[in-house]
Structure 1
Amino acid sequence: MNKQPHNPFIDHDPEPVLLDEADDDGLNISLEAPADEDDPTRLWYFIHCYSGYEKKVEHALRQRIDTMGMKDKIYDVLIPTEDEIEVKDGKRRTVEKRVFPGYVMVQMTLDEDSWYVVRNTPGVTGFVGGGNDPIPLRPEEVKKIMDRMDSEDKVVKVDYRIGERVRIVGGPFNDFPGTVASLDSGREQVRVMVDFFGRETAVVLSFMEVERM
């Protein structure tokens, strides 16, 4: 079948192709690009996709790169993530959080062929860029993202906010109700205002000692 000629840098939106929302289908294709890391044409780009389908887009793109013989032009596909600690109902758990929901990073040498493979991957809605040309990330931007992914510092997330009513579940003020006055994620502490014999008193507690009412 003959393809109609097209301008590869006109960022039109084809008919969306919806994907299965499952996170992982077991596909594991290593690109192992032979290109020189110092190649100035080897750059990182952001592509936009349906939020929540990043993993499926990554797998679909890796499969297309493999089957269409594009490993010499498309070198890597990456979903920027970081670990986040959730504190809820007195329990802690570590979850993987997408840093940029709805976006996937692609390292590639941009030309008509590589653009076509990426742009026509199911679920991809376009490149991030201005006008007709995708805009590559600057080296310092790439480094910042990679450093964030490799950081040992964990983001701590709690299920209550400043101004919300909570109940203390530990220490001498156990079972006291109060209002969240401030949060310190670095120290994993919360300051709660409680009514102590008719006086409003500030109590500093760990995240684990407070729960939503």
Structure 2
Amino acid sequence: MTAWYLLHCKARQEARARVHVENQGYTTSLPQVKLQKVLRGKRTSCIEPLFPNYLFVQLNEKTANFNALRSTRGVNGFVRFGGVPATVPSAVMEHILAIEQQHLQETSTKQTFPAGAKVEIIEGPFSGLQAIYEIAKGEERCMVLLDMLGKQQRIEIEERSIRTSCNA
């Protein structure tokens, strides 16, 4: 019978632990999220684990070598309750695997707009207004033309805060 277990990893070594556990033939899950951080005064986007220092691993409790996994590079040991490695309920794992799959889809299908496309601003101070997409500015931001006071104003906003206009 296979079940999901939770490995406690050494600080910031989840990816290393994942590689070494997968090299032993086990299935793992390391859900990640994309965050905006300020590093050295510059805003950057980075991908970090949703559960820092933890790695989910699917094991057959009759054939798995728990001692070898506990001794794997980057791993501190299993999360235990009463001295027994704790299993993660299947309903919880289904939700976690769905989050991981959603993150993979979001990172692989970034929406880009052609120059001159009509867009709607969906968040921020200009929410609900129509604009014209001009150009991408870096990975996360873009320039749009907004009609204000009878004149087109060029503003820079995050690309995630716009969508294709329904009035296009």
- Give the Å deviation of 1:43: 1.2
CA distance in 1, matches of 2:45, 2:81: 37
User: What per-residue deviation string (whole Å, max 9, x for no partner) do you get for residues 166-207 of structure 1?
Assistant: xxxxxxxxxxxxxxxxxxxx9356xxxxxxxxxxxxxxxx98
TM-superposed CA distance for 1:85, in Å, is 4.3
- The residue identity in structure 2 corresponding to 1:42 is T
Consecutive unaligned residues in structure 2, runs of 5 or more? 107-121, 126-155, 159-168
How is 1:48-197 mapped onto 2 (pairs within 5 angstroms)?
48-63=8-23, 65=24, 71=25, 75-86=26-37, 93-111=44-62, 113-151=64-102, 187=123
CA separation of 1:188 and 1:137: change in aligned 2, threshold 3 A:
farther
Return the structure number with greater helix share.
2
8 Å contact kept, 2:9–2:77:
yes
Give the strand-richer structure, 1 or 2.
2
Unaligned runs of 5+ in 1: 1-40, 66-70, 155-185, 190-205, 209-213
Cα gap change, 1:53/1:88 in structure 2, threshold over 3 Å: closer, same or farther? closer
Q: Does the 8 Å CA contact 2:29/2:97 hold for their aligned counterparts?
A: no
Alpha-carbon RMSD: 3.4
Task: Say if 2:17 and 2:72, in contact at 8 Å, map to a contact too.
Answer: yes
Determine what percentage of the aligned residue pairs are the same residue. 23
- Asked if the contact 2:35–2:46 (Cα under 8 Å) also holds between the matched residues in 1, the reply is yes
Amino acid of the structure 2 residue aligned with 1:48: H
Please give the alpha-carbon distance, in whole angstroms, between the structure 2 residues aligned to 1:188 and 1:139.
39
Quote how far apart the aligned CAs of 1:145 are.
1.0
Change (3 A) 1:132 1:95: same
Structure 1 residue 151, shift from structure 2 partner = 3.2
Larger Rg: 1
CA 1:80–1:188 in 2, change beyond 3 Å: closer, same or farther? farther
Q: Over residues 21-70 of structure 1, what are the superposed CA-to-partner deviations in whole Å (9 max), with x where a residue is unaligned?
A: xxxxxxxxxxxxxxxxxxxx11111100112111111122233x1xxxxx
